[in-house]
DNA sequence: CTAGCTGCAAACTATTTGCGAATTT
DNA sequence: AAATTCGCAAATAGTTTGCAGCTAG
């Protein structure tokens, strides 16, 4: 994840990259800043914003929007996947589904388009256990 | 669409409601304001924002986010559907797909959730004509 | 008449940016 | 040493809101 392409490897970037790769969730900038600051207080929000934008442009990070007004981030190297958001807790579960993707491609084609990107978000509520 | 529920029917609201019901696309606030102003210059952006929020709370309008930082709006009475966004022009095409919905429900269940809401957005680019 | 609405401009929130100082290569 | 990058604070963009006047019911 730290293989750079023409960028200077500063302490701040190293730090932010580390926080990102260790994150299992999909943190927003504020959260990234909070975590980074906890490890080394010499980072500013501006740098987090700049780094995150840089990584996005380099294709290392993907910007997501799950509502709430803040952008959330997802490392691009974790493969193609969608999200299931628990409406009660806000927890995000990742999943992949090839059948779904194929279907979307078919729909796009039917409408005369080539699929560029697919965004599937399922908002759900934990189902009550069937027994037990 | 104009059946109100405990709201005063002011000229501005009537105007905005009309612009909304006549819109075939998914306009953002700025666009709504532009169209409303063209019909009657005595509207302010603030009122458009307030009205749109009011209608959303009443369940008459649905707020969407297709990227680009601005909220876009969709009358709720047009039935369940998804969106295909033309990445080059920003045009939004609506479509419904029962097969897709069923599949999403299955996926949710597999993960232990009941489906509450489904958001499917296909970003595509106009496919070059195969012939002619 | 009165509760509720409107316009204006100031306030907010998330994000970007200009600039001089600090760092990386 | 040269080019980047950083932190700060001011600037943006979209949206919300306080207040005094206006209007529907």
- Which whole-number Å values give the CA distances from B42 to A87, B37, B48, B64, B119, in the listed order? 40, 7, 11, 27, 36
Q: pLDDT tens digits, residue range A46-86?
A: 999 999 999 998 888 988 887 778 899 988 888 788 999 88
A55 in the same domain as A87:
no
B65 Cβ under 8 Å from any chain A Cβ? yes
The Cα A72–Cα A116 span in angstroms is 20
Count how many Cα atoms sit within 13 Å of the Cα of residue A26 in the half-sphere of its side chain.
24
**At which of A77, A95, A111 does a domain end?**
A77
B39 in the same domain as B19:
yes
In which domain, by residue range, is B31 found?
11-77
The Cα A85–Cα B67 span in angstroms is 19
Residue B6 inside a domain? The answer is: no
Residue B92 inside a domain? The answer is: yes
Please report the beta strands in chain B, taking only residues with DSSP state E, as ranges in sequence order.
61-64, 72-75, 82-86, 92-95, 113-126
Q: B122 and A112: CB-CB below 8 Å?
A: no
When mean pLDDT is compared over A16-25, A43-52, A111-120, the highest value belongs to: A43-52
A90 in the same domain as A66:
no
B68 in the same domain as B19:
yes
The Cα A54–Cα A75 span in angstroms is 13
From the CA of B90 to the C1' of D13: give the distance in Å. Answer: 19
B30 in the same domain as B61:
yes
Which chain A residues are closer than 8 Å to B116 by Cβ?
Answer: 87, 123-125
Tokens 């405990």 sit at which residue?
Answer: B6
Which chain A residues are closer than 8 Å to B103 by Cβ?
Answer: 97, 99-100, 103
Q: pTM for the complete prediction?
A: 0.80
Question: H-type helices in A26-132, by residue range?
Answer: 29-39, 45-57, 98-110
Residue A69, judged by CB atoms within 10 A of its CB (0-12, 13-18, 19+), counts as exposed
Q: B111 and A124: CB-CB below 8 Å?
A: yes
Report if CB A10 to strand D is under 7 Å: yes
Domain count, chain B: 2
What DSSP assignment string belongs to B24-57?
SS--BHHHHHHHHHHH-S---HHHHHHHHHHHHH
Contacts of B97 (CB under 8 A, 6+ apart): A103, A107, B82
Band (B131; pLDDT cuts 50, 70, 90):
low
Which chain B residues are closer than 8 Å to A67 by Cβ?
Answer: 65
Note the pLDDT of residue B33.
Answer: 96
pLDDT over 90, % of chain A: 44
Q: What is the mean pLDDT of chain A?
A: 87
CATH number at residue A116: 3.30.1490.190
Note the pLDDT of residue A68.
Answer: 74
Q: A127 and B113: CB-CB below 8 Å?
A: yes
Residue B132 has pLDDT above 50, yes or no: no
Of A117, A120, A123, the CB nearest to B116: A123
The Cα A90–Cα A125 span in angstroms is 10
Band (A37; pLDDT cuts 50, 70, 90):
very high
Residue B61 inside a domain? The answer is: yes
Pairing label, strands A113-126, B113-126: antiparallel
B103 in the same domain as B55:
no
Tokens of A36: 């980074």
């Amino acid at each position: 994840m730290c293989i750079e392409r023409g960028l200077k490897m500063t302490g701040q970037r190293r730090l932010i990259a580390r926080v990102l790769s260790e994150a299992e969730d999909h943190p927003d900038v504020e959260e990234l800043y909070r975590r980074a600051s906890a490890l080394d207080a010499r980072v500013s929000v501006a740098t987090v914003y700049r780094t995150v934008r840089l990584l996005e442009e380099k294709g290392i990070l993907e910007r997501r929007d799950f509502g709430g007004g803040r952008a959330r981030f997802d490392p691009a190297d974790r493969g193609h996947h969608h999200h299931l958001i628990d409406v009660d807790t806000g927890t995000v579960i990742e999943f992949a589904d090839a059948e779904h993707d194929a279907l979307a491609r078919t729909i796009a084609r039917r409408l005369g388009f080539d699929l560029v990107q697919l965004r599937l978000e399922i908002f759900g509520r934990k189902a009550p256990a069937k027994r037990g």
